[in-house]
Copies of this chain bind each other. A is one copy, B any other.
Amino acid sequence: MTLVSASKAAGLREVDAPHSLVAHFGAEHPLQMDAGISFSPLTIAYQTYGALNADKSNAVLVCHALTGDQHVANDHPITGKPGWWQTMVGPGRPIDTDRYFVISSNVVGGCMGTTGPASLNPTTGRPYGLDLPIVTIRDMVRAQAMLIDHLGIDTIFCVVGGSMGGMQVLQWVASFQERVFAAMPIATAAKHSSQNIAFHEVGRQAVMADPDWRRGRYLEEGVIPTKGLAVARMAAHITYLSDEALQSKFGRKLQGRVAPTFSFDAEFQIENYLRYQGMSFVDRFDANSYLYVTRACDYFDLAADYDGSLALAFKGAKTRFCVVSFNSDWLYPTAASRAIVHALNAGGASVSFVDIETDRGHDAFLLNIPEFIATSRGFLDAAARARGLPPAKTRAS
């Protein structure tokens, strides 16, 4: 079948046969999407770590960022690299898999096993491509709630995530406040700014400008818009790092030479690095998925669903919040987190707010930054006590 071979050629074998648990939802249990469509069938691919306790009170839901996935704390099935959040999730880590039952699912619109544009549309026998309805952050959260129901869990101990994952955290509380005991939105915003939309639009235009995109039908035609997707990733990647981080890591250092050669080669290390980021990305990510997940962020404006009042989105929530920002994050800057905190305060929620000082920029939430790790541990430990969970095992240090 053309589909399978084409998606395999694209390194997208995870679309069809993910190295994950999967939950299937048929026509009797459709996903009600913001685009006005009652969507089925839906497959959700997910990973779990640790064990659910008897009263099902120790579940932690980790929501992934734009191009992340459910492989939080295990080696990635395509790249072979360690899970993307092993600094935070694992035995003895803040999200302690000896204490908590950790769940992470690939978002709707993704390409790691959950239904997305590369998935087979059973009606046509072809990949959905752009026939998949536009996905919103709320749709992603609705799908996660279906998974949580499927797992028989009523209340999640903590919903946590950075960047687009943080948007899902906020949406979880807005949509299902009684089901979220604690929440950690990290390096995120309650709405996508004009500049955020602008960078995403550049990425989408880069993909769509590639003639191999074929109006989204590339998988059937046996091609992949690798060049466009790589350019999109390069542009986005700049926004994930701070000016200072780039300066200290690369500066104006030349790549493998002592003097400039006066050419268009990757003369500077930063150029080589970006080209590598672009090229390696296309091996693991579907171009149409990139369009969907960026679009989902662009549509995110939580207050807009509550008459423009973010405080109303959180009104009455008993959820304990820990809002985390990084002072050198210019993609979702500290001010965006502060706006969330103000809204939570206005709604009378329990909230602590930590702005972590680092020069690492937005991607700091993926790094082993001691203050961030300690903050997360402290918040989760206190929440666990309040939830009546047994204390952490004593570990040999």
Residue numbers of A with Cβ under 8 A of B are 34-36, 130, 133-134, 136, 191-195, 197-199, 201-202, 204-206, 208-211, 227-228, 230-231, 234-235, 238, 243, 246-247, 249-252, 260, 262-264, 266-268, 270-271, 274-275, 278, 291, 295, 298-299, 301, 304, 330, 333
Contacts and interface: CB of A to CB of B under 8 A. Distances in A.
What 10 A-B pairs come out closest when comparing CB atoms?
A209-B227, A194-B246, A134-B262, A35-B262, A201-B271, A194-B250, A195-B243, A194-B270, A202-B235, A202-B234
Contact of A209 (B210, B260, B304): B210
A266 B230 CA distance: 22
A238 B195 contact: yes
A381 to B, nearest CB: 36
B195 A246 contact: yes
A198 B133 contact: no
Contact of A278 (B136, B205, B263): B205
A267 B134 CA distance: 13
Nearest to A239: B238
Contact of A202 (B36, B231, B243, B291): B231
A231 B211 CA distance: 14
Contacts of A209: 206, 209-210, 227-228, 230-231
A21 to B, nearest CB: 30
Nearest to A266: B201
A252 B195 contact: no
Given A35-B262, A194-B246, A198-B246, A231 B234 contact: no
A312 to B, nearest CB: 18
Contacts of A202: 231, 234-235, 238, 274
A194 B235 CA distance: 14
Given A209-B230, A209-B231, A264-B204, A238 B198 contact: yes
Which of A34, A194, A202, A275 gathers most chain B CB within 10 Å?
A: A194
A299 B262 contact: yes
A103 B201 CA distance: 39
Contacts of A134: 262-264
A198 B274 contact: yes
B201 A274 contact: yes
Contact of A194 (B130, B208, B252): B252
A234 B211 contact: no
Given A130-B264, A238-B199, A295-B264, A252 B205 contact: no
A270 B238 contact: no
A371 B34 CA distance: 47
Interface centre among A36, A201, A210, A268 (most CB of B within 10 A): A201
Contacts of A266: 201
B252 A34 contact: no
B264 A194 contact: no
21 contacts: A35-B262, A191-B252, A193-B243, A193-B246, A193-B252, A194-B243, A194-B246, A194-B251, A195-B238, A195-B247, A197-B252, A197-B271, A198-B271, A198-B274, A201-B270, A205-B274, A209-B210, A209-B227, A209-B228, A209-B230, A211-B211
Contacts of A271: 197-198, 201
Contacts of A205: 230-231, 234, 274-275, 278
Given A34-B262, A262-B299, 10 more contacts: A197-B268, A197-B270, A199-B238, A201-B234, A201-B271, A201-B275, A202-B238, A205-B278, A206-B231, A264-B295
B130 A247 contact: no
A210 B191 CA distance: 33
A134 B204 CA distance: 31
